[in-house]
Amino acid sequence: MATDDARLAEIERKVESGERLSFEDGLALEESTDLIAIGAMANRVRERYNQNFAYYNVNMHINPTNVCVFTCDFCAFRADLDDPRGYVMDRDQIVDRARKANERGATELHIVGGLHHKLPFDYYVDVVRWIKADFPELHIKAYTAVEIEFFAKIARITIRETLERLIDAGLGSLPGGGAEIFHPEVRKEICGAKASTETWLEVHRTAHRLGLKSNATMLYGHIDKPKHRIDHLIRLRELQDETGGFQTFIPLAFHPDNSRMAEIHKPSGLMDLKVMAISRLMLDNFPHIKAYWVMLGIKTAQVALSFGADDIDGTVVHEKIYHEAGAETPQEVSVADIERLIREAGRTPIERDTLYHKVNRDGSTWRSGDHIDVRTIEPVAVG
Strand-pairing partners, residue 349, are 54
Among 259, 279, 300, 315, binds ligand V47 (CB under 6 A): 259
Count of C-beta atoms within a 10 Å radius of residue 198: 10
According to the binding rule CB under 6 A, does residue 283 interact with ligand V47? no
What mask of x and - would describe binding to ligand V47 in positions 179 to 208, judged by CB under 6 A?
-x----------------------------
Question: Toward ligand V47, which CB reaches closer, 26 or 175?
Answer: 175
d(CA 10, CA 20): 12
Site for ligand V47 in 321-350 (CB under 6 A): 321, 325
Question: Toward ligand V47, which CB reaches closer, 7 or 170?
Answer: 170
- At closest approach, how far in Å is the CB of 177 from ligand V47? 3
d(CA 4, CA 25): 11
Whether the CB-CB separation of 221 and 253 falls below 8 Å is answered with: yes
- At closest approach, how far in Å is the CB of 143 from ligand V47? 11
According to the binding rule CB under 6 A, does residue 56 interact with ligand V47? no
By three-state DSSP, how is residue 15 classified? helix
d(CA 115, CA 32): 40
- At closest approach, how far in Å is the CB of 166 from ligand V47? 16
Among 76, 98, 163, 312, binds ligand V47 (CB under 6 A): 76
- At closest approach, how far in Å is the CB of 31 from ligand V47? 24
- At closest approach, how far in Å is the CB of 146 from ligand V47? 7
Instruction: Tell me the pairing of strands 357-362 and 108-111.
Output: unpaired
DSSP letter, residue 79: B
Whether the CB-CB separation of 34 and 55 falls below 8 Å is answered with: no
Q: Which of 226, 245, 234 is nearest to 283 (CA)?
A: 234
Question: Toward ligand V47, which CB reaches closer, 37 or 216?
Answer: 216
Residues whose CB is less than 8 angstroms from the CB of residue 151 and which lie 6 or more positions away in sequence, other chains included: 121, 124, 143, 162, 166
CA torsion sign, 334 to 339 to 344 to 345?
Answer: positive
According to the binding rule CB under 6 A, does residue 247 interact with ligand V47? no
Q: Which residue is nearest to ligand V47 (CB)?
A: 177
Question: Toward ligand V47, which CB reaches closer, 37 or 325?
Answer: 325
Among 60, 219, 309, 350, binds ligand V47 (CB under 6 A): 219
According to the binding rule CB under 6 A, does residue 314 interact with ligand V47? no
Phi/psi-derived region of residue 370, left when phi > 0, alpha when psi is between -120 and 50, beta in every other case: beta
**Chain residues that interact with ligand V47, rule: CB under 6 A:** 74-76, 144, 175-178, 180, 215, 217, 219, 250, 252, 254-255, 259, 292, 313, 321, 325
